[in-house]
Chains A and B, each alone.
Chain A
Amino acid sequence: MLPGGGVERLVLRRDPPGHHVHSSRRDEFALLAAAHAAGLRVPRVRWCEEDPAVLGTPFFVMDFVPGETLARRLLRDAEYAPARAALPGQLAAALAGIHALDVRAPGLAFLPRPPAGETPAAAELARHEQLYRAVTLDPHPALELALRWLAAAPPAPRAEALVHGDFRIGNVIFGPEGLRAVLDWELAHVGDPMEDLGWLCVRSWRFGADAQPVGGLCQREEFFAAYARAGGAPVDPAAARWWEVFGNWKWAIICVMQARSFVDGARSVELASLGRRVAEMELELLSLTET
C-alpha cells in the first residue's frame, strides 16, 4: 500500500529458513541492480535485508513482472506467435547487454571467476568433471566420449564477460508481445560469453521444437547475427558449438547429481526421474560429436 492509497505488487525473494545455498541474496540484488541500471529487462530491485532477524533469512524485494514463464506455452500457443517472432532478437539483445556489463565494477567483485592462468572453458570443464566423478553411481561411456571431445579442443580465451549462467527459455518472463524480464541470475559468473549462447542451444531447452536449435525459436546463424547486431562480439561458430556440446554435457552431469541426491535420501519424484533423462543428453552428445 502506498501513501495516498495506491497498491503496488512486489515480489519478495528469500531462501526458506534452514535452506543451504551458495548463492547470496545480497549478491543477486547487486547483480539485478547493475543489470537494471544498464537498461536490461530485469525486475527492478527495491531493497535488500541481510539481517536474518527480520524474516528468518535474508531477502530482497523487487517489482512484480506480470507474464508467462512456461516454455511449452511460448512454443505452441497461438497467443504467443508474436512473442516467438520477437524473442530471437530480444534474447540476442539481452545477452549482448549482459555481456557488456562491467565485471570489474566494485559492486560485482563477488562474482566467481576462473582461476588465474586457466581459460574459462578449461576451468568449467575441470570443475564439472570433478563434480561428476564425485557423485556418479554408474559408468557413462557416452559422457566419457564427450569429455574426450571437449578436452581435445577447448576454445581459446577471449575477452572475459559477465556470463548469466542459466539463460534460456523457461528462465524468462514473456508476454504475447515478447520478452519482459530475464530471471534466475544465481549462476552468474565471469567467463566466456559464448557459454551463454551454447547453453541456449542445448536440446532440452527447445522443449521438443527441435527444428529450431536456439530455444525452439530460430536457427543458430540467425541468432548469432542478431547478437552481433545488438553489440555482442562476433560469434565464432566453432566456439559456440563447443559451448553447446559442453552445455549438453553439463546438463547431463546436473541430472546425474540430482539422481544422486534422490538416492541419498531427497524424497522427490522429480529428482528421481531426472536420473533417467541423462540418456537424452547422451544421445545428443553422440550426434553432436560424430564428426
Chain B
Amino acid sequence: MQDRPSVSELLDAVRAFLEEDVVPALEGPRQFHARVAANVLAIVGRELAGEEASLLAEWQRLAVVLGEDASAPPARLEALRGAVRERTAALAERIRRGDADAGPFRDAARAHVRATVEDKLRVANPRFVRS
C-alpha cells in the first residue's frame, strides 16, 4: 500500500502544474504540446477511475451480442482486458463478414458499439459525447 497522495491526486497535481504554470509560460508549438500533455493526464485520470466498471459492462454486453456465456467475467483486470479484446476482435470479424449488414444482429451490434464508443469518449473527450 502506497502512501498518499493517491495516483489520481498525483496526476492531478502534474496536470494543474502544466495547465497553470507551463502552458502560460510557453508559446507556439511547445505551448500546444504542453496543453496536449495536460489533456493526456486528464484522460489517464478518468480512465483509472472508471476502467474496471466500464470493462465489466462491455464484457457483459459483448457476451450477449455474441451469444456467449455472460455469467462469469474474469476476476483479474488484466484477464478482463484480454477477454474484452478477444470478443471485440470476434465482433469486428463478424461485422467484416457482413453479419451486421441487416437484421437483429445489426441492431444489437450497433447498440453495443455505440455504448462502447460513448464509454471511450467519456474517458478521452467527455465534452464530445455530451454535445
Residues of A in contact with B (beta carbons under 8 Å apart): 138-142, 144-145, 147-148, 152, 210, 268-270, 272-273, 276-277, 279-280, 282-283, 286, 290
Contacts and interface: CB of A to CB of B under 8 A. Distances in A.
A270 B39 CA distance: 10
B33 A270 contact: yes
Given A276-B124, A277-B125, A140 B92 contact: yes
B19 interface: no
B129 A283 contact: yes
Nearest to B29: A270
A141 B91 contact: yes
Contacts of A142: 113, 116-117
Given A141-B109, A276-B124, A280-B125, 20 more contacts: A141-B116, A142-B116, A142-B117, A144-B95, A145-B100, A145-B110, A148-B100, A210-B131, A268-B33, A269-B33, A270-B32, A270-B33, A272-B40, A276-B43, A279-B121, A280-B124, A280-B128, A282-B113, A283-B117, A286-B110
B88 A145 contact: no
Contacts of A269: 33, 36-37, 40
A286 B117 contact: yes
B101 interface: yes
17 contacts: A139-B88, A139-B89, A140-B92, A141-B116, A144-B92, A145-B95, A145-B100, A270-B33, A276-B125, A279-B120, A279-B121, A280-B121, A280-B124, A282-B117, A282-B120, A286-B110, A290-B110
A148 B95 contact: yes
Interface of B: 32-33, 36-37, 39-40, 43, 85, 88-89, 91-93, 95-96, 98, 100-101, 109-110, 112-114, 116-118, 120-121, 123-125, 128-129, 131
A25 B64 CA distance: 54
A172 B131 CA distance: 27
Nearest to B101: A148
